[in-house]
Amino acid sequence: MDLAWSAVTMSAHLAIILSILIALGNAVYLSAREHTIRVTPLLRFALTGVASALVVERCYYVIARLLVNSPVDLWSMHPAPEILSGMVASACLFCATAILSTGRDAEHRRLIAAIEIVFVILCGVSLAWLAW
């Protein structure tokens, strides 16, 4: 693996991590300062989950890039990258569900929750199949 492209990729991952942390900090600051933003606790939890999953996934890739020339090979740890990507995807799905269910009546929220449960089961089965 060429060191120049590895450095470019690693700096891109670090930039993504830094931008996520800055965006979260700004969101916390704005929600504490102005009460005009309508964010439910469920949506706040979902957005925090997406940001946390992205930061964990990107940190894994940064560490894998740093250890590329060492005996520890994080690229060949088969289920780890797939599970991290599944974590980000499921957090994004939960965030989309939280956005869609905000301001809806109980019947629509139940339908949205049922669709999310089906997707989570399908994702779990596919991740189990990949890990097998």
Check residue 55 and give its pLDDT: 87
Q: How many domains does the chain have?
A: 1
Taking only the tens place, the pLDDT of each residue in 18-52 is: 877 777 777 666 665 655 556 677 777 888 888 88
C-alpha angle 49-50-52 in degrees, rounded to nearest 5: 65
* pLDDT value, residue 32: 59
Tell me, what's the pLDDT at 16?
A: 79
Q: Which residue has the higher pLDDT, 5 or 80?
A: 80
pLDDT digit string, tens, across residues 64-120:
888 878 888 787 776 777 778 778 877 887 877 777 777 778 888 888 888 888 887
φ/ψ (deg, to 5) at 45: -65, -40
The beta-carbon contacts of 39-47 under 8 Å, at least 24 apart in sequence, are 40/98, 40/102, 42/98, 42/101, 42/102, 43/95, 43/98, 43/99, 43/102, 45/98, 46/91, 46/94, 46/95, 46/97, 46/98, 46/99, 47/95
Residues 41 and 98: beta-carbon distance below 8 Å: no
Q: Which domain holds residue 34?
A: 3-131
1 pLDDT above the threshold of 70: no
